[in-house]
Amino acid sequence: MPEVTTLFWDVGGVMLTNGWDRAAREKAVAQFALDREDFEDRHEMANQAFETAQITLDQYLERTIFYRSRSFTPDEFKTVFFAQSRELPESRAVARGVARSGKYLMAVINNEALELNLHRIERFDLRRDFTAFFSSCFVGLRKPDETIYRLALEVTQRDARHCVFIDDRARNLECPQRLGMGTIHFQNAAQLREELRRSGVDVPQNSSGRE
């Protein structure tokens, strides 16, 4: 087995809750009494541009919600939008421990809109554990498109055989596998820890980074 030198991580569903997935949108739809079908149709039409920073959050909201007058303001909706994010402490502790070992390049490959991505990087101090962010809003590409994984390999100058990619969605693992990366389909922190160790990654037992 080739030695692992690089770990690429998804964020939403692995270290944090998904910031604006269907469950988060359902909460907002219920709270603001939106027409669910209309909102989801509009979301699907706008999301590609939103997650690749072709439109701003304000433009996304104008296209999906504020195309007509509402009883609430965009700022009120944004408060709920940003409040959906939570840390998944057990899996985040695994990532933190691996990062603190200093043995691996730690980078992110994720799909996320610009304002949400910057908010989550700052709020959850992701820069503490990761040195590169291949976010869809920064690179204009989205998973599961193979190009985003190729870009991550080219920019970091890493051989795919020495990389592992972690994601909670199986379809996002198919292209990395074809490129030669090791992959882990994230289920929970204990399973993540065990599969990393089977891949030869040094995983400290606790969030302090000490065995």
What is the pLDDT tens value at each position of the chain, 211 positions in all? 789 999 999 999 999 999 999 999 999 999 999 999 999 999 999 999 999 999 999 999 999 999 999 999 999 999 999 999 999 999 999 999 999 999 999 999 999 999 999 999 999 999 999 999 999 999 999 999 999 999 999 999 999 999 999 999 999 999 999 999 999 999 999 999 999 999 999 998 764 444 3
Domain end position, chosen among 37, 68, 83: 83
**How many structural domains is the chain composed of?**
2
pLDDT of residue 211: 38
Please give the order of strands across the beta sheet that includes 182-185: 132-135, 105-110, 6-9, 163-167, 182-185
Residues forming beta bridges with residue 107, ordered by sequence position: 8, 132
- pTM: predicted TM-score of the whole model, two decimal places: 0.93
Does residue 210 form part of some domain?
Answer: no
Asked if 92 contacts 58 with a C-beta cutoff of 8 angstroms, the reply is no
Range of the domain at 132: 6-17+87-198
Asked if 125 and 72 sit in the same domain, the reply is: no
What CATH number did the domain enclosing 157 receive? 3.40.50.1000
Asked if 78 and 92 sit in the same domain, the reply is: no
CB atoms within 10 A of CB 163: 26
- In 87-194, the DSSP E strands lie at 105-110, 132-135, 163-167, 182-185
Asked if 62 and 157 sit in the same domain, the reply is: no
Asked if 79 and 91 sit in the same domain, the reply is: no
Asked if 72 and 116 sit in the same domain, the reply is: no
Domain end position, chosen among 83, 103, 121: 83
Does residue 27 form part of some domain?
Answer: yes
pLDDT of residue 204: 87
Write the secondary structure of 121-150 as one string of H (helix), E (strand) and C (coil): HHHCCHHHCCCEEEEHHHHCCCCCCHHHHH
